[in-house]
């Protein structure tokens, strides 16, 4: 079977069987096309690859200046690909077996302080439809810790504001129900009554958050909104949609929330992913201790 067809079937497996997002599938495609180009230069087929070939490929990527995180991602894509080929009986042995990923340095996620979050949330102009939308979006993201894709993917039927809940689809199309605080509920209701009707162009549009054309707001649109308000608020930290999610998790843990509860709300499949936030709270604890203890 031609390598191009093998890759196409693998990507279709990720979409259909694994339920991975379009962005994740595209990332796999990009990484594996790069690997296949290397194999082509060496005159090798996918089925002819040995472990030494993969090691050589990754070593060359390192020599070309690729970082540890990127190389780890390349290996993860190759490993997943060969696991699939072995499962489909297209190869007799998995050349990635026993290969260890390069150890990553734990980069603590950037977070905003509670004061910075409040400053950011106060920037939208509530006299305008977009201002009402933006305040509601930012409040909801900080209140729930949703990913930006989950936030923008919300439809009207996903909201149960009177009950204080929102239903969203996370990674792998896994559904979860997240509680929403009173303040976020108030701003959401205000947007739905006074803002969304002024943005909506079609009665059949079910997206909660709309752009000026009455269509679902895009990730790029949200990023521009967030960046603009951060600059307006004078926040000097590098900010992204994920920063609000990180801030949400960190502030919960700092105030005594159980790690398992935070894991459930964030939609993390593995609690080790959530544990990164405990490192942040420990760092802050150490700073407070050193500033306040007379013999620190």
**Catalytic site residue 74?**
no
**Catalytic site residue 171?**
yes
- How many other C-beta atoms are found inside a 10 Å radius of the C-beta of residue 36? 18
Alpha carbons 46 and 56: distance in angstroms, whole number: 15
**Catalytic site residue 238?**
no
Sign of CA dihedral 61, 66, 68, 73: negative
Alpha carbons 186 and 191: distance in angstroms, whole number: 9
From the list 237, 242, 279, 286, the catalytic residue is: 242
**Catalytic site residue 242?**
yes
**Catalytic site residue 186?**
no
From the list 110, 194, 268, 284, the catalytic residue is: 268
Q: Note whether 276 and 109 are within 8 A (CB).
A: yes
From the list 135, 147, 196, 251, the catalytic residue is: 147
**Catalytic site residue 277?**
yes
Q: Do strands 175-179 and 159-160 pair parallel, antiparallel, or not at all (unpaired)?
A: unpaired
From the list 171, 189, 215, 227, the catalytic residue is: 171
From the list 135, 196, 245, 246, the catalytic residue is: 245
- What does the block give as tokens for 255? 């105030």
CA angle 214, 218, 220 (to 5 degrees): 135
Q: Which residues are known to be catalytic?
A: 147, 171, 242, 245, 268, 277
């Amino acid at each position: 079977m031609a390598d191009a067809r093998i890759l196409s079937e693998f990507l279709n497996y990720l979409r259909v069987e694994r339920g991975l997002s379009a962005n994740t599938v595209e990332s796999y495609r990009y990484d594996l096309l790069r690997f296949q180009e290397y194999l082509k230069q060496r005159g090798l087929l996918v089925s002819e690859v040995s472990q030494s070939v993969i090691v050589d490929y990754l070593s060359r990527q390192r020599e070309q200046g690729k970082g540890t995180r990127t190389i780890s991602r390349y290996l993860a894509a190759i490993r997943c690909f060969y696991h699939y080929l072995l499962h489909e009986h297209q190869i007799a042995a998995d050349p990635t077996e026993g290969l260890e990923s390069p150890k990553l340095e734990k980069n603590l996620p950037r977070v905003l302080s509670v004061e910075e979050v409040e400053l950011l949330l106060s920037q939208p102009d509530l006299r305008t439809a977009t201002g009402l939308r933006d305040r509601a979006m930012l409040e909801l993201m900080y209140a729930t810790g949703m990913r930006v894709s989950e936030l923008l993917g919300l439809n009207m039927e996903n909201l149960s504001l009177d009950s204080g809940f929102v239903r969203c689809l996370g990674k792998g199309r896994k559904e979860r129900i997240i509680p929403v605080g009173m303040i976020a509920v108030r701003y959401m209701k205000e947007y739905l009554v006074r803002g969304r009707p002024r943005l909506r162009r079609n009665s059949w549009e079910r997206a909660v958050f709309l752009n000026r054309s009455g269509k679902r707001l895009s990730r790029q649109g949200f990023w521009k909104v967030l960046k603009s308000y951060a600059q307006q608020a004078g926040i000097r930290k590098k900010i992204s949609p994920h920063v609000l999610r990180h801030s949400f998790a960190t502030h919960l843990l700092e105030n005594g929330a159980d790690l398992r509860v935070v894991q459930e709300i964030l939609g993390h499949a593995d609690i080790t992913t959530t544990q990164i936030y405990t490192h942040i709270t420990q760092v802050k604890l150490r700073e407070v201790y050193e500033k306040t203890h007379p013999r620190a």
